[in-house]
A and B are shown apart, each in its own frame.
Chain A
Amino acid sequence: MGHLNMHTKTIRLWSWIHRWSSLVCTLFMLLLCVTGLPLIFHHEIGHLLEPERPPIAAGTVAPTLASLVERALSARPGERVNYLFFDDEEPVAVVATAQRGNSLPQETHYQYFDLRDGWQLERQQPTEGFMYVMRRLHLDMYADLKGTLFLGAMSLLLLVSILSGVILYAPFMRHLPFGALRRERRRAWWLDTHNLLGIVTVVWLGVVGFTGAINTLAQPVERMWQGSELMEMAASPPDRPDAQEIVRLDLAVERLREAAPDLTPRVLALPGTPFASQHHIGAYMVGNTPITSRLLTPAMLDAGSGRLVDMREMPLYVKALFVSQPLHFGDYGGMPLKILWAALDIVSIVLLGSGLYLWWVKPGHERRRKTPAARIQKRETAA
């Protein structure tokens, strides 16, 4: 490599950085790319598995939330309702019930109701099946927060490897036109392929990697916010300390609509859950533009009277987290964007695979027959 503007020592250093940052994270990145592929389409895959529902009769009256809560509870004796989730794409409410207010997601049962007529949809629990395995492998490799933070660190290494790859692109392409794929030798062809795939997807992969790293901080960020601002918001004493039951959720939603007509609730957290307080209902609302539909506006309502106690915007650090989510998931531009996301994901798999090949096969070795002796020699030179 004597044909370089860059100092040879500098190139060696960047090659070393590129090799090792990539090698350490490649297997995990392959795992993330492979498990991420079905996750891009999790909504659609969920629908495929779902049985058809009968058409809605004309003149059907929409059910009250209170009636959905009642039905969910009667199907799960001994449990309590912790959350109501409202889907962003379809008129569906998810009623989450569990033994305790702070039960873990995997101890929670989810029931799906059509908000137009109250029809209960037969859906798989989000905590079981193929997609759950994919999600856990992608999110934390079944190692909870430790696994998530580890994958975040691996994403940072990916960013280092992307940066060093871009720097190395220049000396490698000094005598080659853009997109050249030399066919004379297998390794040269793979090197050119690696360079081409890497340089044209660099922005996309960089953004998905970076926002993925930010997303790994979701849990700590939420906890930080919960411990500070949410506590503040729920500081008011109960309006009716002797109240035995909480207000009808329909009334709470009505209060929210009066206070913020542009926002729609995405989550209602019932009293006694981590996202509410002992005597408050936590409401998390979203707007109706592509960006505001990602930003939650939290509100606290007194559970005994339904009075809106506090409503405020999320602090900037939580907003950054929420805006980074669509940029990682690719779910913000319809089906064509999801397909592009999947295609770019597959390109990344080839990129990672070709990188491994280029590390494994040293220049000039690719034409040799794979005799056992050659293999051992190759391994020794690689080590």
Chain B
Amino acid sequence: MKTPGRPTYAFWQIFRWPFLIGLSSSIGLVSALVGDGPWDALSWATLVAPLAVIAWFFRAMHPRFPAGLRGNRGRFPGAEGRES
């Protein structure tokens, strides 16, 4: 069912961002255990990443958001009318 014009992503492309976010969360979960002060700050900075990513993609859906930046820079591979 390969649709022409639909990009296919490789394993590392699919998991690149999730891996980095997961890694940063892991660092954050441990760092606040290690020490106080800067270690706590590191955990806040890293654990805010998942929330920031979610906020980014939902913000892009907001109608008032600049159209050029909306929805993955306009790339919506499902927009051709196919869905998995």
Which residue of B has the minimal Cβ distance to A189? B61
**Contact of A259 with B by CB under 8 A:** no
A184-B9 Cα distance, complex, nearest whole Å: 21
Say whether, besides A290-B36, A327-B33, A200 and B9 are in contact (CB < 8 Å): no
Check A347–B50 contact: CB distance below 8 A.
Answer: yes
Check B9–A173 contact: CB distance below 8 A.
Answer: yes
Check B77–A177 contact: CB distance below 8 A.
Answer: yes
Say whether, besides A170-B11, A176-B78, A179-B56, A340 and B18 are in contact (CB < 8 Å): no
Measured between C-beta atoms, what is the minimum distance from B42 to chain A in Å? 9
Residue-by-residue, is B51-71 near A (CB-CB < 8 Å gives 1, otherwise 0)?
101101110110000000001
Check A204–B47 contact: CB distance below 8 A.
Answer: yes
Which residue of B has the minimal Cβ distance to A195? B18
Q: Which of A173, A175, A178, A347 contacts B6 (CB 8 A)?
A: A175
Check A204–B48 contact: CB distance below 8 A.
Answer: no
Taking residues whose C-beta sits less than 8 angstroms from the other chain, chain B's interface range is: 35 or more
**Contact of A289 with B by CB under 8 A:** yes
Within residues 279 to 334 of chain A, which ones have a CB less than 8 A from any CB in chain B?
A: 289-291, 323, 326-327, 332-334
- A residues near B3, Cβ cutoff 8 Å: 175
Listed from nearest, the 8 A-B pairs whose CB atoms lie closest are A333-B32, A182-B78, A200-B50, A203-B25, A179-B57, A2-B1, A203-B22, A333-B40
Q: Which residues of B contact A (CB under 8 A)?
A: 1-3, 6-9, 11, 14-18, 21-22, 25-26, 29, 32-36, 39-40, 43-44, 47-51, 53-54, 56-58, 60-61, 71-72, 75-79, 81, 83-84
Beyond contacts A170-B14, A290-B35: 15 other A-B pairs, Cβ-Cβ < 8 A, are: A3-B8, A173-B14, A175-B78, A176-B78, A177-B7, A178-B14, A178-B16, A179-B56, A181-B57, A197-B54, A199-B18, A204-B29, A204-B47, A289-B35, A333-B44
A selection of 27 A-B contacts at a CB cut-off of 8 Å is: A1-B84, A3-B2, A170-B11, A175-B6, A175-B9, A175-B77, A175-B84, A176-B77, A176-B78, A177-B9, A178-B14, A179-B56, A179-B57, A180-B71, A182-B79, A182-B83, A185-B83, A202-B18, A203-B21, A204-B25, A289-B35, A290-B39, A291-B33, A326-B33, A340-B47, A344-B51, A347-B54
